[in-house]
Amino acid sequence: MLAKRIIPCLDVRDGRTVKGVNFVNLRDAGDAVELAKVYSACGADELTFLDITATVENRGTFCSLVARIADHISIPFTVGGGIRNIADVAALLDSGADKISINSQAVAKASVIDELALQFGSQCVVCAIDARRNAQFDKNGEEGWEVYVHGGRTPTGIEVVSWAREAYDRGAGEILLTSMEHDGVKGGFAVDLTRRVSSAVGIPVIASGGAGTMEHFREVFTDGKADAALAASIFHFHEIDIPELKIFLSKHGIPMRTRQ
C-alpha cells in the first residue's frame, strides 16, 4: 500500500476561510494565511485552496492571496476556483501554486483537461468532482451519483464514475472527489462511491466530504481505496489534529507520508 496523504482544505470567500454544511450556511473559520502556516508546520502533506465563489462571480482566483499563502508554506499547494484557460493556470503557478484544481470549466469544455495536461503536465492537473446522489443513475444495485458544478449549484446530468474515467483518459493527474451530501455532516466519507471511482481510474483519488472522526479516515483509506483524504472544519476548529490523526492511522497499519 502506497503512503497516504492528509490534506487540509481552505474554502475561501472574500479572502477569509469559511466552512458550511452541504455547501451552504457558511461560517467564518479564520484567516487563510494564518491557517496555511499552521498546517504547513504541523505535518499536513499538502494544502488545497478553493476560491468557492470565483466561478459563479465569473472572475479568476485571487492570485495575490495565493502568493501570500505560498510564501508561508513548504508543502505542495493546490489551487482551484474560477480557472478557465491556460493563462489562468499560468498565473496561479507563477503565484506559487504547485497544482490546479478544475471543475466547472472541465465539465463545460472537457478538452481543457487535455490542453492543461499537455501544457503543464498531468501531475499539475486535478479534476475536482462535486457529487450528489441521484437515483436516476442507479445501476446494477449500485447507488448513482450526479456531477454538479458552479460550487454545487448546478446539476449536469453527467454520471460521476463515467466522468472521472473520462477526466483520467484526458490526462488529469488526480481526482478530488467531494460528496455534497456528506460535506460538513461529519458522518463519514462516501466510501462506496470513493471505492468505485478509485477502481475506475489509474490515478490518485482524494476523498472529500464527511470526515468527523479518525475512524472515518481509516475507512476511506482501506474500504474506499482513497489515496488521500481532505477535510476542513475538523482541522480548522481542532476537533482532530493532524499529528494525532497520523499516529492513529499508522497504528492501524496505514502507511503515512513522513516529512523530512
Q: Could you give the 3-state DSSP secondary structure of residue 89? A: helix
Integer Cα distance of 19 and 1 in angstroms:
32
Catalytic residue among 51, 130, 183, 227: 130
Mark whether 11 is an active-site residue: yes
Integer Cα distance of 145 and 2 in angstroms:
28
Catalytic residue among 11, 45, 183, 227: 11
Contact indicator for 106, 85 with CB cutoff of 8 Å? no
Q: In whole angstroms, how far apart are CA 126 and each of 89, 99, 181, 238, 240?
A: 12, 7, 21, 27, 26
Cell of 141: 444495485
CA atoms within 13 A on the CB side of 51: 23
Which phi and psi (to 5°) does residue 137 adopt?
-100, 5
The residues that are catalytic are 11, 130
